[in-house]
Amino acid sequence: MTRFFINRPIVAMVISIVLVLVGALTIARLPVAQFPDIAPPEIQILATYVGADAQTLEQAVATPIEQQMNGVDHLNYMYSLNATGNSTTSLIVDFDVKTDPNTDFILAQARETQAASQLPTDVTNYGVTVRKSVTAPLMLIAVYSPHGTYDAKFLANYAYINLTDPILRSPGVGNVQVFGAGQYAMRLWVKPDQLAKLRTTVPEIISAIQAKNTVNPAGKIGGEPAPKGQEFTHTVLAQGRLVSPEEFGQIVVRESPDGGIVRVRDVARIELGAQDYSIAGRFNGKPSAVIAVYQLPGSNAVEAANGVEKLVAKLRQRFPDDLDSVVALTRPSPSRRGLRRSSRRLSLRLRSSFSWCSFFCRAGAPPSFRCSRCPFRS
């Protein structure tokens, strides 16, 4: 067989070219990795108890959920993080690596539902979130104002409104969290001296706001069954949720029999501020909104990061003046460098093989490898 290819070098060249072309066509379909999954699926359960400290969160929120979560199928371990700053509880539940993340999510959500009756009413009203996500962020994106035109509240809310939803829809993304100033919220700073003077309590203020700040469907006029001759139907629009500090200040907290009225503006200072002031985002010493992107369990980290970077580059074109973004941290960087290094090595070996084939086709090659018509010669 060796003598056959030595005596027929053109056949050997054609076979080599065909093998190279077939390899070039199939290399794009080769999997990046064929290793088994080593990261166990994680389910996060987030709950907020406004105004509570870490100990209260542990006793009133984390403990009931953990008690119901015990005994769930294929559970490895779990732990909870209770933060006083933003009054949130984060319960991380890790399952066996061989399990399906979707099944783990359903099981965890069912156990959280069983614990809902034991949680405080304020926690259930605020909402308990159950989602699939890893604890370490895949990448960090900083949104900042190079010349300081916008403050931290504007940057954070711009990220909340315009960036989080598109990024969350990107393939391979499990969760998006914005670190920095909180979302816009109507802040009421109560005055203790006025509360004592007017004999008013904070629960009374809360009840008054909840009663007035509602959505009020008012129905319609002229709907069926309508009398004969009624040709039009009119929708009635009533005042809904309050939107300005002045409207919140007009809310009546209490009325006395002699005609005295206590309004919210009499016992509190009202302003449009941030929902949470416990976290501040910085980029190069400047206020910024730091967007943490978390990977969906089982997805490809490199493809997910590439998709997010392309999406952010597209969204950056619609940014207002003096607003920019930058990828401050990305975990797939070592993988990308490894892929580029492997590509360079493969390209170098292909060029080396091509050069050796061309060399043996020239006149100075040994007689056994010399050919009069070489496909590599001009």
Ordered per-residue pLDDT tens for the chain, 378 residues? 677 777 777 887 888 888 888 877 877 776 655 666 777 888 999 999 988 889 999 999 999 999 999 888 889 999 999 988 778 899 999 999 888 888 999 999 999 999 998 999 889 988 899 988 777 888 899 999 998 889 888 998 999 999 999 999 999 888 888 887 778 888 899 999 998 998 889 889 989 998 888 888 888 888 778 788 877 888 888 888 888 899 999 999 988 888 889 999 999 999 988 887 778 888 888 888 899 998 887 778 888 888 999 999 999 999 999 899 988 888 766 666 666 777 777 778 777 777 766 666 554 445 444 444 444 444
- Residue among 48, 46, 43 at smallest CA distance from 92: 43
Whole-number pLDDT of residue 268: 92
* Whole-angstrom distance, CA of residue 213 vs CA of residue 209: 6
Architecture of domain 43-132: 2-Layer Sandwich (3.30)
What is the pTM assigned to this prediction?
Answer: 0.69
Q: For residue 326, give both structure tokens.
A: 């930058």
Angle between helices 301-315 and 333-360 in degrees, nearest 10: 100
* Whole-angstrom distance, CA of residue 150 vs CA of residue 157: 11
Whole-number pLDDT of residue 190: 92
* Whole-angstrom distance, CA of residue 373 vs CA of residue 362: 10
* Whole-angstrom distance, CA of residue 364 vs CA of residue 275: 80
Whole-number pLDDT of residue 333: 64
Fold (topology level) of 135-181+278-334: Alpha-Beta Plaits (3.30.70)
Asked whether this chain's domains 43-132 and 135-181+278-334 adopt the same fold, the reply is: yes
Fold (topology level) of 184-212+240-274: 3.30.2090
Whole-number pLDDT of residue 175: 86
* Whole-angstrom distance, CA of residue 61 vs CA of residue 171: 32
Whole-number pLDDT of residue 63: 93
User: How buried is residue 36: exposed, middle or buried, by Cβ count under 10 Å (0-12/13-18/19+)?
Assistant: exposed
Task: Tell the residue number behind the tokens 């393939």, with chain if given.
Answer: 171
- Residue among 109, 73, 81, 75 at smallest CA distance from 94: 75
For residue 186, count other CB atoms closer than 10 A to its CB.
Answer: 17
Whole-number pLDDT of residue 371: 47
Whole-number pLDDT of residue 372: 46
Whole-number pLDDT of residue 45: 92
What does the CA dihedral 131, 89, 68, 56 come to, rounded to 10 degrees?
-160
Whole-number pLDDT of residue 182: 78
Dihedral of alpha carbons 373, 374, 377, 378, sign: positive
Whole-number pLDDT of residue 369: 46
User: What is the domain partition of the chain in residue ranges?
Assistant: 1-30, 43-132, 135-181+278-334, 184-212+240-274
Whole-number pLDDT of residue 64: 92
* Whole-angstrom distance, CA of residue 78 vs CA of residue 108: 11
- Residue among 323, 295, 316, 287 at smallest CA distance from 140: 295
